[in-house]
Amino acid sequence: METKMIEMKGVNKWYGDFHVLKDINLTVKKGERLVVCGPSGSGKSTMIRCINRLEEHQEGQIIVDGIELTDDLNHIENVRREVGMIFQHFNLFPHLTILENLMLAPTWVRKMPRREAEEKALYYLERVKIADQALKFPGQLSGGQQQRVAIARGLCMEPKIMLFDEPTSALDPEMIKEVLDVMTELAEEGMTMICVTHEMGFAKTVADCMIFMDQGQIVECSPPAEFFENPKSERTQLFLSQIL
């Protein structure tokens, strides 16, 4: 039997009176790649932000790599160590160089010696093809480069799961490809990934499973071939006809 990396059971979440997540049930196996799409405000980002507890859920269970997310701070920190997250606005640390951005978490969280952390950082910068920018500050890089640095920063912690929250939405069109290439490469290596994105070309090549969300619910969950060729719900058909 394949290992379950993420399990969400009957998850509900409210912002005040607003019901953002309605009875979410989702299982992600090791090495599985999920792409989540849906109109804005449908709860996609909120859902993946619950997985590393950047948002709290009020009902149901979320179990990540065998650890249940509760108020217990130790659990939360243990989960966050194993789950990397990429944000729409990169969120690099502007007061640190690229290299320091990458070395920060391994040295402070994993207590790795500086030398080793630096080697690891340079290795991942090489992989996202910007090792030559290591000593610059984030503000001196283009959007696409910053997002690749953010991915490398996540990878330096050698996470078991990577979450992508609209990683290309803030980028100029000509920079989207360089980021998607890095993500595709990562997917091919077997990383467990959940991506919230509207890049349907990317979704078709890498996704094992497509999820469509609307008004806080998972409306559809099926392999890409089926999802794009004959979606079950009308809502999905309408959405696809608008974006494709």
Contact residue for another protein among 5, 8, 24, 87 (CB under 8 A)? 87
Q: Judge whether 35 and 210 are in contact, CB under 8 Å.
A: yes
Interior CA angle at 102 toward 99 and 105, to 5°?
Answer: 135
Give yes or no for residue 89 binding another protein (CB under 8 A).
Answer: yes
Give yes or no for residue 92 binding another protein (CB under 8 A).
Answer: yes
Q: How far is the CB of 233 from another protein (least distance, A)?
A: 32
Which range of residues in 15-23, 84-92, 191-199, 203-211 is near another protein by CB under 8 A?
Answer: 84-92
How crowded is residue 68: how many other Cβ atoms within 10 Å of its Cβ? 12
- C-alpha closest to that of 85 among 155, 186, 13: 155
Please give the order of strands across the beta sheet that includes 4-15: 18-29, 4-15, 59-64, 67-68
Q: How far is the CB of 136 from another protein (least distance, A)?
A: 10
Give yes or no for residue 105 binding another protein (CB under 8 A).
Answer: yes
Q: Judge whether 49 and 42 are in contact, CB under 8 Å.
A: no
Contact residue for another protein among 34, 35, 45, 84 (CB under 8 A)? 84
One character per residue 47-76, x = contact with another protein (rule: CB under 8 A): -----x-x------------------x---
Three-state SS for 158?
Answer: coil
Q: Judge whether 52 and 32 are in contact, CB under 8 Å.
A: no
Q: How far is the CB of 56 from another protein (least distance, A)?
A: 11
Q: Judge whether 232 and 220 are in contact, CB under 8 Å.
A: yes
Contact residue for another protein among 3, 72, 109, 233 (CB under 8 A)? 109
Residues that bind another protein (CB under 8 A): 52, 54, 73, 77, 80-81, 83-85, 87, 89, 91-95, 104-105, 108-109, 137-140, 150, 153-154, 157
